[in-house]
Amino acid sequence: MWPRAARRNLGNDPKEGEQVKSDSEIREDVINELQWDPQITEPDAIGVAVTDGAVTLTGHVSTYAQRLAAARAAERVYGVKAVANDLKVKLSGAPQDDSDIARAIAHVLEMECAGPRREGARPGIRRMGHPRGRRRVRVPAARGRADGPQR
């Protein structure tokens, strides 16, 4: 399957009489675009290779959003015909396995369902600050009748 940039016309194809950028010029422009983009926190961790206008991004980023931002930045450069995004997302922090994730979910559910456990918490105050949880609201007799005209 072709990369998204190759499937759609980016408008980066040179017209008649225009000079075509060399691969080294495109590479430098893509690197500058990556360094300019504020969404990409570590542009030096991204490798750029260009062959006949097709850009290949390699390396690692810390979030999936940065991976997408790098591909969009490369697509913005004039002369780029296609972008192959081979960036890997390397999450920060220690790697977690399924048992760690299950333990964290169980802990959150336990804390959500247990209710207030703090010292000095007021157990009588419930939903939206009302002492009994629900309040009866008086509704005028004319409201809600289907037989009379509505205002």
The span from the CA of 117 to the CA of 27, in Å, is: 58
Evaluate if residue 21 carries a pLDDT over 90: no
Q: For position 9, what pLDDT does the model report?
A: 47
Q: pLDDT band at 144, cuts 50/70/90? A: low
Angle formed by the axes of helices 64-75 and 23-36, to 10°?
Answer: 140
Q: Report if pTM > 0.85.
A: no
Evaluate if residue 130 carries a pLDDT over 90: no
Position with higher pLDDT, 26 vs 6: 26
Domains of the chain: 4-89 (3.30.1340)
Of 65-69, 84-88, 120-124, 137-141, the least confident: 120-124
Which residues are CB-contacts of 79 (< 8 A; sequence separation ≥ 6)?
Answer: 12, 14, 20, 21, 25, 26, 29, 53
